[in-house]
Amino acid sequence: MFKIRLLVTALTLAGSISVATAWDALPTTAPAPADNPTTEEKVELGKMLYHDPRLSSTGTVSCASCHNTMLGGEDNRPNSMGVNGQTGGRSAPTVWNSAFNAVQFWDGRAASLEAQAAGPVTNPIEMGMKDWDAVVATLKTIKGYNQAFAKAFGDNSITKDNATKAIAAYERTLITPNSPYDQFVSGDKAALTEQQIRGMNKIAELGCTSCHSGAAFNGAGAFQQFPVHDNEYFAAQYHFKKDKGLAEVTKKETDEHFWKVPTLRNIALTAPYFHNGSVGTLDEAVKIMAKVQLDKELSKEEIADIVAFLDGLTGQFPKQTMPVLPATSGKTVN
């Protein structure tokens, strides 16, 4: 049975819905919450914090280590590597266009970018800091951060809350509009090839956009069961059911193997695929999705058409300049 759940709160789910296909261009700006309006000072501070490995216990891992803005916004690893070479069981989702996610993380456990930014820093496998008090203490020893926080938030403002707000403000600038698809739906009918248009029509015909809906192709806060249809061959090869997804958070059996619907934006750049990074190519990912979600066998030509369309979702990336991090002269903080 096909199941999709629409997010009401971070962990409260409503019943079955269907989402009509709509072809929307990606907005060029992202909305900010009322308690964290975007400012240039916050964005610059957030960029520094995002790229600073001193927020990790070993001084070697930053947010950018797993969510590389010089590439597709993740790390192209099946499972990201944290402090001391540790790896978890999930693949890093892209940070590009994450501002348009209703929830964050594969299991949707964070309701905002601010809440998401707080998690990896103190995760023992990821960045490994003891707690946020230790993070704040570290930042306060760095003169340049005292100045940057004061510019963004006022005096005496180095706190967990302000640090995560700054990181989130920076992440809200990471938007990739004006893909060939966006140009096409905005009126340039030559922006997509005939093959890409066939692929676009095919995903609508198959029902892919029932889940991957909206301008970001991310379901606007939906959780989807994966896989829907059991397949012994794929289960053995890719271990899709080893991780219980949303149920790991809610502890409810009915939530087992439900996942936040990921964006299809820039998907050509973010291999390997799925929550555990077990599938190495986009062609194979399309084939698997058709089989285990829709119980459809696609021809090689249909797969090629869909992959061609997905290539057309690669947007224009805003220029990224690396920040000069505040220095600690003659000493290390880690």
What confidence tens digit (pLDDT) does each residue in 301-313 have?
999 999 999 999 9
Q: What is the mean pLDDT of residues 182-197?
A: 97
Does residue 14 come out as left (phi exceeding 0), alpha (psi in the -120 to 50 range) or beta?
beta
The 3 state secondary structure assigned to the chain is CCCEEEECCCCCECCCCCCCCCCCCCCCCCCCCCCCCCCHHHHHHHHHHHCCHHHCCCCCCCHHHHCCCCCCCCCCCCCCECHHHCECCCCCCCCCCHHHCCCECCCCCECCHHHHHHHHHHCCCCCCCCCHHHHHHHHHCCHHHHHHHHHHHCCCCCCHHHHHHHHHHHHCCCCCCCCHHHHHHCCCCCCCCHHHHHHHHHHHHHCHHHCCCCCCCCCCCEEEECCCCCCHHHHHHHCCCCCCECHHHHCCHHHCCEEECCCCCCHHHCCCECCCCCECCHHHHHHHHHHHHHCCCCCHHHHHHHHHHHHCCCCCCCCCCCCCCCCCCCCCCC
Q: How confident is the model at residue 333 (pLDDT cuts 50, 70, 90)?
A: confident
| 126 is a catalytic site residue | yes
What confidence tens digit (pLDDT) does each residue in 88-122 have?
999 999 999 999 999 999 999 999 999 999 999 99
The catalytic position among 74, 114, 126, 171 is 126
Residue 165 predicted with pLDDT over 80: yes
pLDDT of residue 235: 87
Q: How confident is the model at residue 329 (pLDDT cuts 50, 70, 90)?
A: confident
Q: Are 222 and 303 in contact (CB under 8 A)?
A: no
pTM check: above 0.85 = yes
Residue 19 predicted with pLDDT over 60: no
Sorted by where each starts, the structural domains of the chain and their CATH numbers stand as 4-25+177-311 (1.10.760.10), 40-171 (1.10.760.10)
Residue 294 predicted with pLDDT over 80: yes
pLDDT of residue 220: 78
Residue 20 predicted with pLDDT over 90: no
